[in-house]
Chain A
């Protein structure tokens, strides 16, 4: 199912679509309130953007510096060319530890690599410990948002799900009650699992350490109690200096949820006594994206989700309609790099309004890239031929004044005499809206007649 088909399915439930739209807009408004309290916000974005540009332009050197320092800190460093290699490394570490169960905190990279499916197939029990991720895991779904994984779920449905899996009372839907049930359920996992996997928000070349940001405290509960801590990171998570954390931690939570900072910003540098710590550095298509001048800036992304919360298409079509680990505007410029054929629809899932670029904390030109991907996908032959034919027809009409005037007149007459010719289900513009009254005359006709009077 492509994006527009999936979106059509999602929007069939009008009330749910409105609710989803409003919930995300509420988060966008919280972001605005937080941002307006920082007078230097624009300069801060500029600084964040330029640090990321520097990091990408010197990425190999910074990765080497990071590796060297991490090794000095007693951390084991692995490199994975793709998702499969990443998953194999995780499995190997678990085998060496003798662990068959693992707790995991939020990591979009592992979603991208389909780690859970892989491990479960190999007999490893993986439990996602972020509340939203646990919800979608119990429901056998991928997250629909990178920061709020179950934003598409209503509390009554979560109540039903928890009743089935965690034995909560039937019909209970109070968020406080449900969150408490999840706390108890997951606390048992934290206490008994010997292996924990976390994502990485920022990896500091200068110190060889990494920072993980959460509100729930699940990454820390997992990592500090387990014998083995695995941290998975994409190559683009590198920042050059520790002091740059000041810039990015100021930008991240304000952009994501409107909080001044996440509850926990955990700085990991060395394993605790008796613990083993691993870092897996993953490429999975990122070096290819780095080689595309028009699209490499997408690698600056710090995964705040602001572009999703503001996007009029995302808000009304839901994260799953993007059929990619990262949804929304940023997902739509990352996904075609991974698989052009499969994701050719995504750059078209946008109005190009530019709101995403305006809220991006590291100034990624998201809507420009969406537009550029359309050109690339059309040139490579991944765009539906009817769309191409339609565009060609439109171009020939628009470039021929006589034909343009004739078509306009014919259209107006047709709409007046036979409204059914446009107001029918075959016309996609008629879907969910009334066609406008045809005007009596065109602007040109009005202008010419005005001269005569």
Chain B
């Protein structure tokens, strides 16, 4: 008998009598204003919400705010001309020097300001992590109240990789002092499009 069979046999022998799944495992959150809640939580966890009307305003904001960053990748079709070079790399290691990545999120979650980013949106899986700064573009209408709603909407496993991103990377490992910018992006701005 190999380990697989041994483990499965031991579980079969030792597991308790069958217990059904709970009938209630999803809950509703009543937030009167989803964008306000999302923005409040995002600020709390170190991110910056930016409300704009449309892509044109989004572009203006990004140009103004990140004018000092030379190497910009944009994976958002409507904002593709913000990219500073082609960045159509084969090897993800080549993204090491990216200063700013602009990626479109699929939807956001008000209760924790997490944004779902499947790999298709970033081109390379590592892009939203390896860049120094990250801008996520999100339709303000694409915010769901809580994570139960999120998984209702999401087809887990459809993408080979997908990630909920909530705020910039951070650590509090040194004496519980919060430091923004651990190994992933040092900052996160979420640009919320109101007319889309």
A residues apposed to B, CB below 8 Å: 23, 26-27, 40, 43-44, 46-47, 50-51, 53-54, 56-60, 63-64, 69, 73, 79-81, 85, 129-132, 135, 148-151, 153-155, 158, 175-176, 178-180, 183, 186-187, 190-191, 204, 206-209, 215-218, 220-221, 224-225, 235, 240, 242-247, 249-250, 257, 259-272, 281, 283, 287-288, 290-291, 293, 296
Whole-angstrom CA separation of A207 from B155 in the bound complex: 10
B177 located at the interface, meaning its Cβ lies under 8 Å from any Cβ of chain A in the complex: yes
Q: Are B20 and A54 in contact (CB under 8 A)?
A: yes
Q: Are A220 and B14 in contact (CB under 8 A)?
A: no
Q: Which 8 A-B pairs have the closest CB atoms?
A: A217-B184, A291-B14, A270-B160, A216-B182, A260-B112, A207-B157, A132-B173, A287-B10
Can you list 8 A-B contacts (CB < 8 A)?
Answer: A60-B15, A132-B171, A179-B171, A187-B183, A220-B163, A225-B130, A268-B160, A291-B10
Q: Are B7 and A287 in contact (CB under 8 A)?
A: yes
Cβ–Cβ < 8 Å partners of A154 in chain B: 175
Q: Are B156 and A209 in contact (CB under 8 A)?
A: yes
Q: Are A217 and B182 in contact (CB under 8 A)?
A: yes
Closest A residue to B118 by CB, please name it: A267
Q: How far is the CB of B159 from chain A (nearest CB, A)?
A: 7
Name, among A43, A132, A266, A296, the residue most crowded by chain B CB atoms within 10 Å (CB to CB). Answer: A266
Whole-angstrom CA separation of A57 from B20 in the bound complex: 9
> Which of B21-29, B62-70, B81-89 contacts the other chain?
B21-29
Q: Given A58-B15, A191-B93, A264-B163, is A155 in contact with B184 using a C-beta cutoff of 8 Å?
A: no
Q: Mark B118-133, 1 if CB is under 8 A from A, else 0.
A: 0100001110011000
Cβ–Cβ < 8 Å partners of B93 in chain A: 191, 225
Task: Specify which of B96, B114, B159 is in contact with A265 (CB 8 Å cutoff).
Answer: B114
Task: Specify which of A26, A80, A207, A220 is in contact with B184 (CB 8 Å cutoff).
Answer: A220
Interface size on B, residues (CB 8 A): 74
Task: Specify which of B12, B96, B130, B151 is in contact with A242 (CB 8 Å cutoff).
Answer: B151
> Which of B53-61, B71-79, B99-107, B142-150 contacts the other chain?
B142-150
Q: Are A260 and B166 in contact (CB under 8 A)?
A: yes
Q: Are A267 and B166 in contact (CB under 8 A)?
A: no
Closest B residue to A268 by CB, please name it: B161
Q: Are A183 and B113 in contact (CB under 8 A)?
A: no
B195 located at the interface, meaning its Cβ lies under 8 Å from any Cβ of chain A in the complex: no
Q: Are A270 and B183 in contact (CB under 8 A)?
A: no
Name, among A207, A261, A270, the residue most crowded by chain B CB atoms within 10 Å (CB to CB). Answer: A261
B residues apposed to A, CB below 8 Å: 2-4, 6-8, 10-22, 24-27, 41, 44-45, 92-93, 96, 109, 111-114, 119, 124-126, 129-130, 146-148, 150-152, 154, 156-157, 159-177, 179, 181-185
Q: Are B157 and A179 in contact (CB under 8 A)?
A: no
Task: Specify which of B8, B19, B24, B177 is in contact with A57 (CB 8 Å cutoff).
Answer: B19
Task: Specify which of A149, A204, A296 is in contact with B16 (CB 8 Å cutoff).
Answer: A296
Closest B residue to A259 by CB, please name it: B45
Closest A residue to B178 by CB, please name it: A175
Q: How far is the CB of A287 from chain B (nearest CB, A)?
A: 4
Known contacts A59-B15, A183-B183, A217-B185; 14 additional CB pairs below 8 A are A43-B27, A47-B22, A47-B24, A50-B25, A56-B16, A57-B16, A179-B171, A217-B183, A218-B182, A259-B45, A261-B109, A263-B168, A264-B129, A281-B7
Q: How far is the CB of B169 from chain A (nearest CB, A)?
A: 4
Cβ–Cβ < 8 Å partners of A269 in chain B: 156-157, 159-161
Whole-angstrom CA separation of A299 from B177 in the bound complex: 32
Q: Are B172 and A148 in contact (CB under 8 A)?
A: yes
Q: Are B174 and A175 in contact (CB under 8 A)?
A: yes
Task: Specify which of A54, A64, A148 is in contact with B173 (CB 8 Å cutoff).
Answer: A148
Cβ–Cβ < 8 Å partners of A81 in chain B: 3, 6-7
Cβ–Cβ < 8 Å partners of A155 in chain B: 174-175, 177
Q: Given A60-B11, A235-B11, A287-B14, is A261 in contact with B112 using a C-beta cutoff of 8 Å?
A: yes
Whole-angstrom CA separation of A244 from B20 in the bound complex: 14
Q: Are A209 and B173 in contact (CB under 8 A)?
A: no
Q: Are A235 and B7 in contact (CB under 8 A)?
A: yes
Whole-angstrom CA separation of A47 from B21 in the bound complex: 9
Q: Are B13 and A220 in contact (CB under 8 A)?
A: no
Whole-angstrom CA separation of A131 from B7 in the bound complex: 34
Closest B residue to A254 by CB, please name it: B112
Cβ–Cβ < 8 Å partners of B21 in chain A: 50-51, 54, 240
Q: Given A259-B45, A264-B184, A269-B157, is A216 in contact with B125 using a C-beta cutoff of 8 Å?
A: no
Q: Are B169 and A217 in contact (CB under 8 A)?
A: yes
Whole-angstrom CA separation of A23 from B172 in the bound complex: 12
Whole-angstrom CA separation of A215 from B25 in the bound complex: 26
Q: Are A221 and B126 in contact (CB under 8 A)?
A: yes
Closest B residue to A148 by CB, please name it: B173
Whole-angstrom CA separation of A306 from B112 in the bound complex: 19
Closest A residue to B124 by CB, please name it: A224
Whole-angstrom CA separation of A198 from B77 in the bound complex: 33
